[in-house]
A = this chain, B = another copy of it.
Amino acid sequence: MHLNELRRDYLLDRWVVIATQRKRRPTDFIRQKTGSKKRGICPFCPGNENMTPPATLVYVRKNGKIAKERDSNGFRHTGWLVRCIPNLYPAFTWLPEGEGEKEDVMGFRSLPAIGHHEVIVESPNHDEHPSVASIDQLKLIIEAYMDRFRYLSSREYVKYVSIFRNHGSEAGASLSHAHTQIIATPIMPRIVKEELDKAKAYWNRMKRCIFCDIIRKEEKSSRLIWENKNFIVFSPWASTHPFEFWIFPRRHQPTILDMNPEEIRDLAITMRKCFGGLKNLLNDPPYNFGFHMVPNSSFHWHLEVYPRLSIWAGFEKSTGVFINVFSPEEAASSLREALARET
């Protein structure tokens, strides 16, 4: 009789059952597409710049070079390569008169949702997702991440900057034009704080980075998916999603701001490989990704990618324990082959 395995995350108090009793193949996870991709006018497409607030950052080509500009209230740049705009319905907003922490009259805790919520439009071409974009375009996107991360994380009231992508409507994307979101929050989120606390404690005890140690183990494991000189991609030991993978820079560095030009290029290559492989293996599945990064010497930034091929249901939501029906080792094996086929 088969006994499933219960695994704990490297750092988090997060357990997942690797439930492989019902044998599945990667093709079992391919879903039929529902609905058409493009409906109505896309506010992120060139020509529709007036449908969005003024850009906080645009990359435009000027005299053969990339210039970094911003829109003003009455003016929108056209001919842009990457465009960063405030979210029309922001979860977090910056207001000068925002107040500090307060207690509700009942003693329940509340804070004003001071912060920022932006969208990075990754390309003027509606369908230019990272699986098909040029390396040069991907480098521009990464540089836009860096520019906005640098600006937002230096605000006094900002405690964390989350850069994430929702791809596909089942992953929460309301628009199909390739875009990434950035949210700057006045609190340090629980998951990142727990990782940081563990990383700090490990650093103090062992005098080295816990993530560097994880990389050294995973590069020799059956969960390794792909690597180049500066990056490594693997299925995490306690993946909470089928086909989940994490991208790490080899060199110890707390945030993406620590990357050198060669690393930026290698990250662009890695992203193209990974998202191309994922798309081809599972017929362009919906997915989310999120950067984890903290400007603290014990932290090591990474990008976590969660394909949405199963549902977190009553058990997961009420306990915080997850069930994953596809093992990370099998996922890595399929993804390894799929990535090898990418150019």
Contacts and interface: CB of A to CB of B under 8 A. Distances in A.
A289 interface: yes
A306 B183 CA distance: 25
B172 A89 contact: no
Interface stretch (A137-145, A310-318, A335-343): A310-318
A206 to B, nearest CB: 12
B190 A320 contact: yes
Contacts of A320: 189-192
A320 B7 CA distance: 20
B113 A315 contact: no
B91 A166 contact: no
Given A110-B8, A314-B171, A319 B288 contact: no
Interface string A84-128: 000001111101001000001011111111100000000000000
A3 interface: yes
B314 A164 contact: yes
Contacts of A290: 314-315, 317-319
A281 interface: no
A3 B162 contact: no
Interface string A167-195: 00011110000000101011101111000
Interface of A: 1-8, 10, 13-15, 17, 19, 21-22, 34, 89-93, 95, 98, 104, 106-114, 160, 162, 164-166, 170-173, 181, 183, 185-187, 189-192, 217, 221, 237-238, 288-292, 304, 306, 311-315, 317-321, 323
